[in-house]
Amino acid sequence: MTPSRTYIGKALFAAKAGQDSVQDWRLYVLNTVLGALLVFGTLVAVPSIVMLLYQGLWPAAIADVVILAIGFALWRSPAASFLLRSWGLCTILYLLGFALLFMMGPTSQIYLMMSPAMAAILLGPWPAAWMLVGSSITLFCVGYLGYSNFQIPGLNVDPLAVWFTITLNFVFVNAVITLSISLLIRGLETSFARVAEASRVKSEFINTSLDSIISIDAQGRVTEWSRQAELTFGWSFTEVRGQLLHDLIIPQRHREGHVKGMAHYMATGAGPWLGQRIEIFALRRDGVEIPIELAISPIVTPQGTSFSAFIRDVTVRKQEQAALVAARLLAENASRAKSEFLANMSHEIRTPMNGVIGMVDILQASPLLPEQQRMLGTISNSALALLNIINDILDFSKIEAGKLEVESIPMHLGQLADDGRQLMAIAAQSSAVALSVFVAPELPQWAYGDPMRLRQVLINLLGNAIKFTPNLPERPAHVELKVEPCSLADGAPGMRLCVRDNGIGMDAEVVAKLFQPFRQGDESTARKFGGTGLGLSISQRLVELMGGRIKVTSTPGRGSDFSVELPLHPSAPGPMRTAHHDPAQHCTAPTAEAAMHAGCLILLAEDNEINRDVMEEQLRLLGYTCEMAEDGAIALQMWQANPDRYALLLSDCHMPNMDGFALTEAIRATEPAGTRLPIIAVTANAMQGEAQRCLERGMDDYLSKPLRLTELGQMLAKWLPQTRTTAQPPAPHGLPINT
């Protein structure tokens, strides 16, 4: 056997310590017995040698001297192997028994037992068996020789039989002792092996853990230090073993708190950080502080209290979090910049579009030759098509940015379907398409939803159906809108809005491309019918935002069937759309003074000269008179000069010097108590939330550019319901159709 360590202490007896293996324990026994042999053997050997010399027993005296010399040599020879020293100790014990056998006779056989027993402890069962055989032979031979040549005390009757009996008893007793010791040693080996395996597994766990694992005793001294702790903090286990933890990794400003916390726990058994995962800073060997995640657990055993700490270096995680925060801020800034760009684009495009479409509306309300009406109709349709493209792009951008939201308010299903029919009536008539609407009577009249966005979806589906359904002699064009109940995929009640046509239809390849942004059936479709290819994509997104789905079935040459399935949530009746006086009727505008006395003079705040001209003419056609201001500051001065002069303020939101929001706040802050000037926002910003922003800043209502004559008339009729003198109605003008 090779000892796990060969250190022999300078002290006479081996120091008491925990043993890591059976071999360590054997080495401890060997050193202890050698120390005892030197002490007690010397005390006994000196008088024994004197007595043996006095009796003339020179061999026994020499044996005692040899035993002491061998013991001293083994004790003073740390370089000797474990096997040599163990065999030497067993030999000493054998010689001691041999010498005492001559002195004391049969009663000294117990000393011969020490040699096999010690061999069983130090060398194992087979060396112990050989020592037992040798000791037994020695016992018998000494007895026999004593009978033949010497007078041995106690052998006065039949010495041969007595020694034979003694030898048999010696063999039996010594065999039992040796076997018991061997079994005990085997049990110790098994126990030590299990402990070693558990220690190996524990060490493997500690050293393979991605967290640093550190253990300290009740005084705060390091007892365990994992490999990850070495990598994290730069100290090896050899360097930190037995060192105070707070001197190694705890920053100076936290050390006093650490010491007090440990003292508090040892006194009370409680601590604020125990059993929790916290984030603090720790100190590396190079003096750099790093952020760590720390969890401390106390371990209480009969041997005392210790603490285990699991430490994770979160430097990389903190860097990643900082990078994520920076990326999020960058994305938010990009989104904000995108929203601002869209708002600016909306404003810049809608401002000139307001002049174009507004003037077209005004011209259409004037007497024109048929050829002029045709050309003006072409201008109107082109302008509205351009506006629809702008609306599609803005809607798609808002959906992509997650800025578009849907409402859930009571809506009248019959009115919703009728709105779709009315809005598409002119387009259907001009294309010679028969348009019919059916609303199932079993549906509730009112349900929760977003009527504006649902109307947008219907207009898109109906517009596409009309556009792709040619009127042929053999097959008259027909488009049908049906609103009926249905069951959703999860079994919940729903409603289905189905738009069916008998138009050109589509094959499966074309259907697969329908809902992709900026894609149409094929290039010839885009060239022949126009459009951005966004209408169906936007409709699909809107339907999904409303919790539904859109499906399509189509057969080339026979037509298409688009259906929208939405959850059906019946609601209590809401406000019906009231019928106002037809705002498109040509009215005679009064003078400014007459309008003031009639309580219908309008103050118009608009910085764009073209838009001022357009809106002034639109108001004149509707029978209203206005006074104009070039910005909010001038409008405020005009109102402050005579607050009772104006019945309503139409204000652009974005103007130099003072915008519409600041103008509204100034008026609301200074208008006389008990009065409220109706303020209508007119803005080219069509982004989500603009209407709500206007209301929150004190305005009463909202109009979006380009301003249509019909919409303006309805808004003024709502807030200024005065009777006006009417003339002949103007010629009808077009309505926007999504493509």
**pLDDT single digits (tens) 621-671:** 889 999 999 999 999 999 999 988 999 999 998 888 899 999 999 999 999
Residue 334 CA to residue 337 CA, distance in Å, equals: 5
pTM of the model: 0.46
Specify whether the backbone of 61 is left (phi greater than 0), alpha (psi in -120 to 50) or beta.
Answer: alpha
Does 706 sit behind a cis peptide bond, omega within 30 degrees of 0 on the bond before it?
A: yes
Share of the chain above pLDDT 90, in %: 18
Element (H, E) at 224: strand 222-225
Q: Are 612 and 628 in contact (CB under 8 A)?
A: yes
Strands 212-217 and 304-313: antiparallel
Residue linked to tokens 């208008």? 671
Confidence band (pLDDT; 50, 70, 90) for 587?
low
Q: Which residue has the tokens 């040899």?
A: 66
Confidence category of residue 370, pLDDT binned at 50, 70, 90: confident
String of b and e for 171-183 (b: at least 16 CB within 10 Å)? beebeebbeebbe
Which of the two residues, 515 and 121, has the higher pLDDT score? 121
Structural domains of the chain ordered from first start: 22-200 (no CATH), 209-313 (3.30.450.20), 320-365+584-739 (3.40.50.2300), 399-567 (3.30.565.10)
Angle between helices 125-149 and 82-104 (to 10 degrees): 30
Q: What angle do CA 705, 683, 722 make, to 5 degrees?
A: 80
pLDDT at 199 over 80: no
Can you tell me the mean pLDDT for 217-227? 87
Q: What gap in Å lies between CA 36 and CA 24, rounded to an integer?
A: 18
Which position has the higher pLDDT, 51 or 283?
283
23: pLDDT strictly greater than 90: no
Give CA–CA dist 725/702, Å, rounded: 26
What pLDDT does 106 receive?
Answer: 65
Q: Is residue 412 pLDDT above 80, yes or no? A: yes
Cα separation, 120 vs 124, in Å, equals 5
Mean pLDDT, residues 279-301 taken together: 87
Confirm if 551 and 533 have CB atoms less than 8 A apart.
no
Q: Which helix (H) or strand (E) holds 704?
A: strand 701-704
Residue pair 306/262 in contact by the 8 Å Cβ criterion? no
Element (H, E) at 494: strand 493-501
Structure-model confidence comparison of residues 176 and 263, the more confident one: 263
Name the 3-class secondary structure at 656: coil
Q: Which pLDDT score, from 0 to 100, does residue 678 have?
A: 94
pLDDT at residue 530 tops 70: no
The reported pLDDT for the residue numbered 5 is 39
433-474: per-residue pLDDT in tens? 999 999 999 999 999 998 888 888 888 899 889 988 998 888
Give the pLDDT band of residue 161 (cuts 50, 70, 90).
low
Report the chain's mean pLDDT, rounded to a whole number.
Answer: 78
In this prediction, residues 396-400 reach a mean pLDDT of: 65
Tell me what pLDDT residue 691 has: 74
Q: What are phi and psi of 666, to 5 degrees?
A: -65, -40
Token couple for 650:
């139409």
pLDDT grade for 339, boundaries at 50, 70 and 90 = low
C-alpha distance across the termini of the chain, in Å: 94
Higher per-residue pLDDT: 62 or 502: 502
